[in-house]
Amino acid sequence: MTYTRDHPPVPDAEELRARIPGWGIDLDPAVRPSVPKLRPEETGAHWDFPERQPEKRPRERSIEHAFLTPVFGTSAPLRGLSGRIRRHAYAHYSEARAAHWLLLILGDRVDAWENHLRSFATLRPDNPVTETGVSSEFTAGGLRSRLHEKRVDRAHQWIDPIIIAGPWLLAGAIGLRVIRAITRHR
């Protein structure tokens, strides 16, 4: 069983070796570089199963595991649409599927936009010019450093303004259209 100091049962090695190319290449201790550090009889663990952290609100968990790890992070609880997307990724897709990871990336992007929109409700909304470093291009030698020949990112510099400013310009254009449609309707 996982999360115990006992080693989980190893399936039949010959069956795995026949099914998975290269499986078990490190079974021989002579070719495994970490063998001196791996002494299961000397783990130093004073427990058979670690004390579980209390789960105060439902957490996302992989469908491959029966329960959460004994200790888990709670620094960024899920909320809003991004939380729903992440929960869906964990509830319906294995971690071995690309859909799982693509949904998590989508959840991150949606979370960024939720936080941008949430900032407009505060006294200090996000400032894309200063927070993306655009002003440093003109004040701290940014243009000169961009033209330096040894930069490895010169090949994609042309797309940086589109990626950084594009979503803001698109959101502004959509906002303008919404405002115009509301004023025309009235």
What is the CB neighbour count within 10 angstroms for residue 93? 18
Whole-number Å distance between alpha carbons of 82 and 118: 13
Give the pLDDT confidence of 157-181 residue by residue, as tens digits.
Answer: 788 778 878 888 888 899 999 999 9
Q: What is the mean pLDDT of residues 51-79?
A: 81
Which pTM was predicted? Answer: 0.53
Give the pLDDT confidence of 29-61 residue by residue, as tens digits.
Answer: 776 766 666 665 666 677 777 888 888 877 888
CB-based burial of residue 25 (10 Å sphere; 0-12 exposed, 13-18 middle, 19+ buried)? exposed
pLDDT band at residue 86 under the 50/70/90 scheme: very high
- What local confidence, expressed as pLDDT, does residue 160 receive? 78
Q: Is there a contact between 9 and 3 (Cβ–Cβ < 8 Å)? A: no
